[in-house]
Amino acid sequence: MQKFLLILTLIVLTGGSVQALPPVDWRFSAFPLRTVFHAPDTEGTNLVLKVERVGNMPVTPNGFLACGPDGTPITLRVVSTAGTEVVLILEAPRSGSRPCAVYYGAIPSNEPAHSPVASVDQTPVAVGFVSLQGRGIPTSWERLRHMLKTPPSQIRTPFEVSSFSEMDQALAQRDAKKEAEKETKSKKERHRNKAGVQVAVGRSYLLCPREGAYRFALDCRDAGFVVVDDELVAAWPGEHEPKTWQLGAPVSLKAGVHRVEVFNAFDSGEPDFRAGWMPPGGTEVLPLAVPDLIASREATDARAEKMNRTLQPGFTTTPVQAYSFRGNSAVFMAMRFTDTTENWMTSKRNSLWRFGDGTQSEEPNPIHVYKAANIFKATLEVRDTLGFVASYSGSVDSRQMQPEEFAVSFELAGLPAVCLGRDQVVPRLRIEGQVPANVALDVNWEIHFRSGVVNQGHQEVVPQGKAQFISLAPVIVDELETLRWSVQHRQVQVGGELIKFVRPPFGILPTRVEGDRLYAADNTRLVLVPGEGLSVSRHMTPIPVQSLDRLVCIDDTLAIKGLIEPGYETFDRILARLLTGRIEEVRYAALPDWGQFPESYGSLRKLVDVPAALKRERADIAILSIGLKDILEVKDVDFFERQAAALSDIVATSMNLRMVWVTPPPYPSDPDRSRVFAAAIRRVAESRGIPVADLFTVFSCVADRRHVFFKENPLMMSDQGHRLAGQQIVRALMGE
């Protein structure tokens, strides 16, 4: 008790310093600083250890003293003093779960014997092998990373070799462990009989002597990649001339130690790979080997401590999960932060975490999700019950985490692409897919009414395979201005869209059909609301034909390819002949077949393709003979009528063109089917004062219809049928 009071008194007098009474396990009191770390349970393995350079601390060999858990000296070597870090190489003994320590910060006056110098690591490359599922060499870095996410088998204890070009030796060691080598088969024969693709993965730490632009190179038989600090710096997929280097682009690296990894994918034989580099100012590629490669491992759970402080903050990070959503560029990296703080006076404390991305937490050991692959500087600030405060900062590299992709789909259903103002709709957001455990998605929506009222809503969902629906309140289309919905995860939008309800004259026209939805050029989703009972305008009166007019026939019904007899005069040519001297030019434009757009609901294509064709042909007058594909494939005539109304409003009011509708003729195979579509066109045209060439009625009144259609193909009009169609269109143009 007296000792505790004495320490407490000294702390109060020195502001937390305990210079006179270092902790019991502080083995070398002449050194004011130390870094405590763990070494892998492999005797003789060289380790990379980075310590912070504080003030003017000496960085000579006798300025550091390392020892194991039992005080046994550890050999070390200073390899880099660039910037604010000092990089040491330690030849660490087996330590298990017990920590080792490096003492530094001063050179004692009595000049104690410094640590013996660590020898150069002759096997600084750790090599492991992964067997990939399926066949085929991954010829891109993205594909290889994807295939490595869930490997079926992997050597967890890497083999140590001297350079990347000796990875075949590690493969031989691996096979020797798995089975005794048979004398009747050569090593190459054994490998050749193995099925599937293998990947040799080599890892090491590279010492860059100075800052500058470095170029990395590789030479391999199949596909290979070189990665430095998780950035791809060289790649060579596919076959090439042997014994030639493939140089990557220059990369800027600071002086010091950098992690380097190589990946060689092969499907037979042995790894045939070598890696090299071209340092700043160099003109030739040099192999990456000792002494450029200094070690294969890095010390773990390192925490810096000060002898004159009772509160020694520190933390470690462990990757938990990295995930992304298909079709979205955002990547989420979940990292577990573990508080490793030591307090020589009391174990009770409060923690404040700052994760380096603008967020913070007061949880003891939080799991934080980063929303970018980057290096972040995280800080832990600790305050104990005695009032002492200390902080520790460390780098968190989220780039090392390989994300798992989850497929989640979002679709707002229940909202047709074309609606009448009086329609009542119930939009429903459909969410389906799988997300990681304990991951929730935030769904938000905002409805703007034409009256100025705004309705907002929010719901949290956790997709787990089955489709989930979020139904919005029933609304009348004529009351709507815009509807916006979004799906977010941790303030990052992973889905959503803006929907605009547009009315004639349409200020925005659709340019793309995706499924049963219309989109503008800026990816805004459109719902067209055509007018009902519009008054006759100057665009819809009978057309006073003048010279200099260009008439364009947009057709998918009368003269499309495959439905005309060779040598026959089609209706558009008949139009041109009958209108000679009145129309400057008659042009024909066939609508593309729906089969060319499998991603689109074909019936909606007319709302995109017709305006595009009229604009391309620079039309003054539009003749629309559209409907055969709809007759053959569309079940809902009411849906077709609404599309025809929207198309009429686009051409007449938005494009400012005069137009004539043409009804489909009564095809002999199913004249009643043609009748309902013809009636829909007449209703649309009459409500807008648009002239109609009513082929259905005219063809139905022909006394002998045998000469109007061919018996062999009842969808194909004869020469007489084309003449009759041309005459009727001319009459509609003249207002007869």
Beta bridge partners of 394: 378
pLDDT at 534: 53
* Mean pLDDT within 43-49: 78
**CA–CA separation, 447 vs 484, rounded Å?**
6
pLDDT at 96: 62
Looking at 128-132, 335-339, 455-459, 562-566, which range is the least confident one? 562-566
pLDDT at 189: 46
The pTM score is 0.70
**CA–CA separation, 206 vs 552, rounded Å?**
70
E strand segments, 44-144:
45-52, 64-67, 75-80, 85-92, 100-104, 125-132
Are the beta carbons of 7 and 308 closer than 8 angstroms? no
**CA–CA separation, 623 vs 657, rounded Å?**
10
Nearest to 515, CA basis, from 589, 587, 389, 410: 410
Q: How far apart are the first and last CA of the chain?
A: 116
* Mean pLDDT within 231-256: 86
Higher pLDDT, 109 or 224: 224
Amino acid found at 686: E
Residue 544, preceding peptide bond in cis (omega within 30° of 0): no
C-alpha pair distances (Å), 491 with each of 53, 288, 442, 447, 496: 38, 43, 9, 20, 13
- pLDDT reading at 536 higher than 60: no
The helix-helix angle for 637-649 and 671-688 (nearest 10°) equals: 30
Looking at 273-287, 301-315, 454-468, 559-573, which range is the least confident one? 559-573
DSSP per position, 548-609 = T-EEEEEESSSS-TTSS-TT---HHHHHHHHTTTT-SEEEEEEPPPGGG-TTB-GGGGHHHH
E strand segments, 299-449:
300-306, 311-312, 315-325, 331-339, 342-343, 349-354, 360-361, 367-370, 375-384, 389-397, 404-406, 408-413, 424-425, 428-433, 441-449
**CA–CA separation, 243 vs 240, rounded Å?**
9
pLDDT digits (tens, 9 = 90+) for 685-705: 999 999 999 999 988 887 666
Residues of the chain above pLDDT 90, percent:
41
pLDDT digits (tens, 9 = 90+) for 584-643: 899 999 998 888 888 889 999 999 999 999 999 999 999 999 998 899 888 889 999 999
Amino acid found at 467: A
- pLDDT reading at 400 higher than 80: no
pLDDT at 661: 97
Mean pLDDT across the chain, nearest whole number? 83
Higher pLDDT, 40 or 632: 632
**CA–CA separation, 724 vs 717, rounded Å?**
10
pLDDT at 112: 52
**CA 515 to chain centroid:** 22
- pLDDT reading at 498 higher than 70: yes
Higher pLDDT, 185 or 699: 699
pLDDT at 174: 64
pLDDT at 538: 41
Are the beta carbons of 409 and 327 closer than 8 angstroms? no
pLDDT at 27: 86
Token reading at 662: 């043409």
Which range has the top average pLDDT, 323-327, 499-503, 543-547?
A: 499-503
DSSP per position, 148-165 = TSS-SEE-SS-EEESSGG
pLDDT digits (tens, 9 = 90+) for 203-239: 999 999 899 999 999 988 788 999 998 889 999 876 6
pLDDT at 349: 85
* Core vs surface per residue 146-175: b (16+ CB within 10 A) or e: ebbeeeeeebeebbbbebbbbbbbbbeebb
pLDDT digits (tens, 9 = 90+) for 192-207: 444 478 888 899 999 9
- pLDDT reading at 114 higher than 60: no
pLDDT at 178: 58
Residue written as tokens 């005219």? Answer: 698
C-alpha pair distances (Å), 595 with each of 176, 214, 312, 623: 58, 52, 70, 24
**CA 43 to chain centroid:** 43
Token reading at 42: 């492999």
Beta bridge partners of 131: 153, 198
Token reading at 425: 């709709």
* Mean pLDDT within 353-380: 92
| Residue 503: CB atoms within 10 Å | 17
* Mean pLDDT within 240-244: 75
- pLDDT reading at 343 higher than 80: yes
The rounded radius of gyration (Å) of the Cα atoms in the chain is 38
C-alpha pair distances (Å), 549 with each of 32, 183, 622, 646, 685: 94, 90, 11, 25, 22
Residue 291, preceding peptide bond in cis (omega within 30° of 0): yes
- Is residue 559 packed enough to be buried (19+ CB in 10 Å), middle (13-18) or exposed (0-12)? buried
Amino acid found at 547: S
pLDDT at 151: 55
- pLDDT reading at 188 higher than 60: no
In three-state form (DSSP H/G/I as H, E/B as E, the rest C), the secondary structure along 464-516 is ECCCEEEECCCEEHHHEEEEEEEEEECCEEEEEEEEEEECCCCCCCCCEEEEC
pLDDT at 330: 86
pLDDT at 621: 93
Backbone angles phi, psi at 678, to 5 degrees: -65, -40
> Can you give the length of the chain in residues?
736
pLDDT at 187: 47
H/E stretch holding 265 reads strand 256-266
- pLDDT reading at 458 higher than 50: yes
H/E stretch holding 525 reads strand 525-528
pLDDT at 569: 85
Backbone angles phi, psi at 437, to 5 degrees: -60, 140
* Mean pLDDT within 639-652: 95
Amino acid found at 315: F
Token reading at 666: 């009564």
- pLDDT reading at 674 higher than 70: yes
Question: Residues near 87 by Cβ (< 8 Å), separated by ≥ 6?
Answer: 48, 49, 50, 78, 79, 80, 81, 207, 256, 257
Question: Residues near 51 by Cβ (< 8 Å), separated by ≥ 6?
Answer: 35, 85, 86, 88, 102, 104, 302, 304
pLDDT digits (tens, 9 = 90+) for 550-584: 999 999 988 877 667 677 788 989 999 998 888 88
- pLDDT reading at 469 higher than 80: yes
pLDDT at 25: 79
